[in-house]
Chain A
Amino acid sequence: MLGLAADRLRADTNRLLAFLFHQGILDEQFLQLQQLEDETSPNFVSEVVNIYFHESEKLLRNLRSLLMDKEFSDYNKMGIHLNQFMGSSSSIGAKRIRNVCVAFRAASEQNNRAGCLRALELLEHEYCFLKNKLHELFQIQQQRALAAAVRYPMQN
């Protein structure tokens, strides 16, 4: 029974990852990230991704704060935040977020405030979606780790 649960969880992981890759939400850089995890750093991926979430939320707040300011004109500062968001997103394989950042940066370079606002809303939406999906992935992986830790005596 434990074996069936482990198989189901493995299938759930594979299905979720396949969905994320197929939809272009993640790219092969996420696989490179996973390959850095080993027995000496078993939680490396979730640690890196949690730092990414923390940094991203700060960047999104900064971007929103800039655009909500009636006196806003510092597109250069916006560009700096976007470059950082692009760099971190591409480094964990968050492909769709990175692509929205590219469009956002283009609007910023044209001093197109309306375009920037639209891009920011899309960025916030994509970020929330990715965060939920990655939390789901980590929950399944946690369950797999727990299932592996529970040894049915007769199996030994």
Chain B
Amino acid sequence: MSDEDIVNNNLTALVVDDSPMIRKLHEMHLKKFGLKVQVAENGKNAVDLFRCGASFNLILMDKEMPIMDGAEATKELRIMGVTSMIVGVTSLDSIFERQAFMEAGLDHCFTKPLTSENIIFLLQELNNKNNEEN
């Protein structure tokens, strides 16, 4: 995938995190790679967006959030039939906790901080997924 392909995409993303700083940072980071981005401050807001008919190619999901955490939101979205790429972005250290988060239905899980290398990897995965579906 060329640099031009990476930036010239029609991809949409949802950043789900209770930290306003992380939402702002991840939103800008994804926008720099050409994605159209929306944000949600907890898992329930993310699920509600999908219930209202929104859809996104990529969801960046924090784990620990009030009202509905990332694992619960991910399970709910998968039960609803959401096939978006859902990627955990968390500070969790314990292998057990990360494994439990993955088992909720994540496609990948990264430790914070989210880097440009992580985003390039995800764009390539999304490109591969798109090619397989076509």
Q: Do A and B bind each other?
A: yes
Max count, chain B CB within 10 A of own CB: residue among A47, A51, A84: A84
| Known contacts A29-B115, A32-B115, A55-B20; A84/B91 CB under 8 A | yes
Q: For the complex, what is the distance from the CA of A120 to the CA of B90, rounded to whole Å?
A: 22
| Known contacts A83-B64, A86-B112, A90-B112; A51/B20 CB under 8 A | yes
Interface size class of B (residues with CB under 8 A): 20 to 34
Interface size class of A (residues with CB under 8 A): 20 to 34
* Contacting pair B28 A44 (CB below 8 A): yes
Shortest CB–CB separation between residue A12 and chain B, in angstroms?
Answer: 26
Q: Which of B90, B92, B116 contacts A32 (CB 8 A)?
A: B116
Q: For the complex, what is the distance from the CA of A19 to the CA of B93, rounded to whole Å?
A: 29
Q: For the complex, is B32 an interface residue (Cβ under 8 Å from A)?
A: yes
* Contacting pair B24 A88 (CB below 8 A): no
Please report the number of residue pairs spanning A and B whose Cβ atoms sit closer than 8 angstroms: 59
**Residues of A contacting B19 in the complex (Cβ-Cβ under 8 angstroms):** 55, 84, 87-88
Q: Which of B20, B64, B114 contacts A91 (CB 8 A)?
A: B114
Q: Which of B21, B32, B114, B116 contacts A52 (CB 8 A)?
A: B21
Q: Which of A36, A48, A83, A92 contacts B32 (CB 8 A)?
A: A36
| Known contacts A84-B64, A86-B91; A91/B21 CB under 8 A | yes
Residues of chain B in range 15-41 having any CB-CB distance to chain A below 8 Å: 18-22, 24-25, 28-29, 32
Closest partner residue, chain A, to B23 (CB atom):
A51
* Contacting pair B28 A36 (CB below 8 A): yes
Shortest CB–CB separation between residue A87 and chain B, in angstroms?
Answer: 4
Q: For the complex, what is the distance from the CA of A27 to the CA of B112, rounded to whole Å?
A: 14
| Known contacts A32-B115, A36-B32; A90/B91 CB under 8 A | yes
Shortest CB–CB separation between residue A31 and chain B, in angstroms?
Answer: 10
Q: Which of B25, B64, B90, B91 contacts A48 (CB 8 A)?
A: B25
Q: For the complex, is A105 an interface residue (Cβ under 8 Å from B)?
A: yes
What are the interface flags for A103-132 relative to B under an 8 Å C-beta threshold, 1 for contact and 0 otherwise? 001000000000000000000000000000
| Known contacts A32-B115, A80-B64, A105-B93; A88/B28 CB under 8 A | no
**Residues of A contacting B25 in the complex (Cβ-Cβ under 8 angstroms):** 33, 36, 48, 91-92
Q: For the complex, is A41 an interface residue (Cβ under 8 Å from B)?
A: yes
* Contacting pair A88 B116 (CB below 8 A): no
What are the interface flags for A23-51 relative to B under an 8 Å C-beta threshold, 1 for contact and 0 otherwise? 00000010011011000010010011001
Residues of chain A in range 75-97 having any CB-CB distance to chain B below 8 Å: 80, 83-84, 86-88, 90-93
Q: Which residues of B contact A (CB under 8 A)?
A: 18-22, 24-25, 28-29, 32, 62, 64, 90-93, 112-116
A-B complex: 4 closest residue pairs judged by Cβ atoms: A87-B91, A51-B21, A87-B112, A91-B113
